Structure 1
Amino acid sequence: MARELLLYCDESDVKGRYFSNFYGGALVRSSDLSLIITTLTEKKLDLNLRGEVKWQKVTTNYLDKYIDLIDCFFNFVSDDKVKIRIMFCQTCFIANGLNAYHLENEYFLLYYQFIKYAFGLQYANRNNSDKLKIRTYFDKLPDTKEKCESFKDFIFGLNRHKQFRDSNIFIERAHISEVDSHKHDILQCLDIVLGAITFRLNNKHKAIPEGSKRRGNRTIAKEKLYKHILKRIHQIYPNFNIGNTTSVLGDKSNRWDHPYRHWKFIPNNSTYDKSRTK
C-alpha cells in the first residue's frame, strides 16, 4: 500500500508593513494522523473550546486555554509527527521585471513555490522504492473558482518535475482540496502559529488603538501567546530567528528532516529598499 503525507496549508497577511505574503503548512504522515486528530479534539473538549480556534480569537480570557492547546500541538512538532513550515516576503526586497501576469497572480505563484520547495519533499522518500502520495488541504482559497482550479492544476503539474519523479512522489489531482478550517483542528492550530509569526514580524505587538495611550488587552494577550510559541520553537532550535530563513546546517536534506522551519523568500532579481525596514 502506498504511503501518504497530508499537507494542510493556510495563508496570512498579503500586505504587511515590513513582511507580506505569509504562507504556512503543517505536514503529517498518514500513520500519525489518527493520533493527532484524536488528541487535539480531546484537548479542545477538555478546554471547552467548542468552536473554531484561530489567531484572531485570542483574548485575555482565552489566553491560558490557547497556550494549553498550542502546547499539545507543539508536542507533536517536537516529536516530528507534525512538520511546520512558514514562508514570507520582506517588503524591503522589491522584485524587478514583473509583468502584469506576475502582479495579478502573485498570491498563487508564491503559494506554488511554497508547496514545491518549503518542505524539501524531494528528500521525504529517500531509500524507499514505494510510491509516496501527497494530499493537500488548502484553507478556502480567496479568489475566483477559475483561478483556484488553475492553481490546483499547477500543483498537480509538480508530478512532472524531476525531483518528484526521482523521489517517486505523486500528487493526485482529486486530492488537491479546499477545506473548511472549522472542521480541521490541525489547520486551526497552524492558523495560530502562522498568526503569531505574522503578528510579531509586522510589529503588531506595538499597536496602540487610536485615542488611547496604551496597548489593548487583546494585543497584550496575543503577545504573550506569541512569546510562548517562540519559547516552544526555541526548545527545538535555540536562538531561532523568526525573520530569516532557517539554516540547513550544511545539509539540504534538513529542509525535510527539520520539524520546524522558516523561509524568507527573496526574489532572485530584486532591489533592496532600506526605507522599508524596521
Structure 2
Amino acid sequence: MEYTLWCDESAKFGDYYSNFYGGALVKSNDSQHICNILRDKKNSLNFHNEVKWNRVTENYLEKYKDLISVFFSFMEQDMIKIRIMFTQNALVPNGLTKEQREQTFFILYYHFLKFAFGFTKVQHPENSKLKILFDWLPDKKEKNEAFKNFVYNIKTFTEPHNLTILRDGIGEVDSKKHDILQCLDIVLGAMFFRLNNLHRAIPEGQRRRGRRTIAKESLYKHILHEIKKLYGGYNFNIGDSTGMLHGDYSAWSMPFRHWKFVPTNHTFDPTKTK
C-alpha cells in the first residue's frame, strides 16, 4: 500500500481564527483515477485554469458547487480523507520562545502531519509507504528543506504501525497542475472565510454585501451540506474539533475532520472572540 498526502495551507491571520492547514490523503493507486475524473469535470464546466477559493464569483458559483460535489463523492467512497486544522486567536499560547514564535508556521504544520490523520491509530498493510506533497512552501529553500527533514522524522512514530515515510517522496508541487490540491484550497478557503465572519463583510462606502461575498457564502453552505451528508446529518461544528465518533480510531477512519489546535499552556483572551 502506498498513500499520497496532498497538503495546502493558508498563512493568513484572521480576526478570530488563523493558521489554517489542510490535507487530502489518497491511496496512490487511486490518485490517477481521481485526477482524471476531476480534470474531466473541470473541462465539462469550462474550468480551463486553476480553480481557487479566491476566484469564486457569482457567475461561476453553480459550477464550483458541481465540482465540489464530485470532490466530496470521493470521500463518500472512502477514496479521499480530508483534514483541516486551525487555531483560535482567543487561545493565546504562553511561554513561547523567540525561536518558537519564528517557527510557528512549520511547528504547527508538523503537528498537523503527525496527528491529524491518525497514522498511528491503525496497523497499516505490511510495507505501507507515505508520500507527502506540499503546495509550494512560502519560505526560503534552505528552511523548506530543513522542514522536510523534520517531517521525515515522523517515520519514528509511524514505522511501528507498518507505515514508512519516503524521504524522496516529500516534495513541493505547483497546485496549478494538481486538481486535488485545487479542490482542497476551496474547502480550506471556505472555512477561513466563514470562521472569520467574512460572509458579513461590506465594502467600504457600501451599505450591502458584494455579490462575490454572497456567492462565497452560498458555496460555503454547499460545502457544509456535503460534510453533513457524510455523517447523516451529524451536527458538524466547523469551529471546533470534530467528535471522535469511533474512539481514537476516528482520527484515521472518518472521511472529514476538523481539528482546532489548542496550546497546552494558554490564556483565554475574550477580546479576540466574535
TM-score, structure 1 length as denominator? 0.96
Secondary structure of the residue aligned to 2:260 is strand
Which AA in structure 1 matches 2:205? G
Secondary structure of the residue aligned to 1:116 is helix
Which AA in structure 1 matches 2:199? H
* Alignment match, 2:51: 53
* Alignment match, 1:146: 142
- The answer to whether the 8 A contact 2:82-2:256 is kept is yes
Which AA in structure 2 matches 1:63? L
Secondary structure of the residue aligned to 1:89 is strand
Pick from 133, 136, 140 the counterpart of residue 137 of structure 1.
Answer: 133
Pick from 211, 217, 229 the counterpart of residue 217 of structure 1.
Answer: 211
Pick from 256, 262, 270 the counterpart of residue 252 of structure 2.
Answer: 256
Q: Does 1:228 align with 2:222?
A: yes
Query: Which segment is superposed worse, 99-108 or 245-254?
Result: 245-254
* Alignment match, 1:241: 237
Which AA in structure 2 matches 1:276? K
Deviation at 1:205, TM superposition (A): 0.3
* Alignment match, 1:7: 5
CA distance in 1, matches of 2:58, 2:246: 42
* Alignment match, 2:165: 171
Q: Does 1:93 align with 2:104?
A: no
**Equivalences, count:** 272
Which AA in structure 2 matches 1:267? P
Secondary structure of the residue aligned to 1:22 is strand
Q: Does 1:160 align with 2:156?
A: yes
Which AA in structure 2 matches 1:135? K
The equivalences for 1:64-143 within 5 A come to 64-126=62-124, 128=125, 130-143=126-139
- Structure 2 stretches lacking a partner, 5+ long: none
CA distance in 2, matches of 1:51, 1:213: 33
Q: Does 1:188 align with 2:182?
A: yes
- Structure 1 stretches lacking a partner, 5+ long: none
Secondary structure of the residue aligned to 1:251 is strand
CA distance in 1, matches of 2:172, 2:11: 19
Q: What is the RMSD computed on CA atoms of the aligned residues?
A: 1.0
- The answer to whether the 8 A contact 1:10-1:23 is kept is yes
Deviation at 1:35, TM superposition (A): 1.5
Query: What is the CA deviation profile of residues 165-184 of structure 1, one whole-angstrom value per residue up to 9, with x for unaligned ones?
Result: 21021111111011000000
- The answer to whether the 8 A contact 2:57-2:215 is kept is yes
TM-score, structure 2 length as denominator? 0.97
- The answer to whether the 8 A contact 1:125-1:132 is kept is no
CA distance in 2, matches of 1:13, 1:196: 15
Secondary structure of the residue aligned to 2:188 is helix
Which AA in structure 1 matches 2:250? N
Secondary structure of the residue aligned to 1:209 is coil
Secondary structure of the residue aligned to 2:264 is coil
Secondary structure of the residue aligned to 1:102 is helix
* Alignment match, 2:269: 273
Same amino acid, percent of matched pairs: 54
* Alignment match, 2:201: 207
Query: What is the CA deviation profile of residues 44-92 of structure 1, one whole-angstrom value per residue up to 9, with x for unaligned ones?
Result: 0111100000000000011111111001101001221110000000000
Deviation at 1:250, TM superposition (A): 5.6
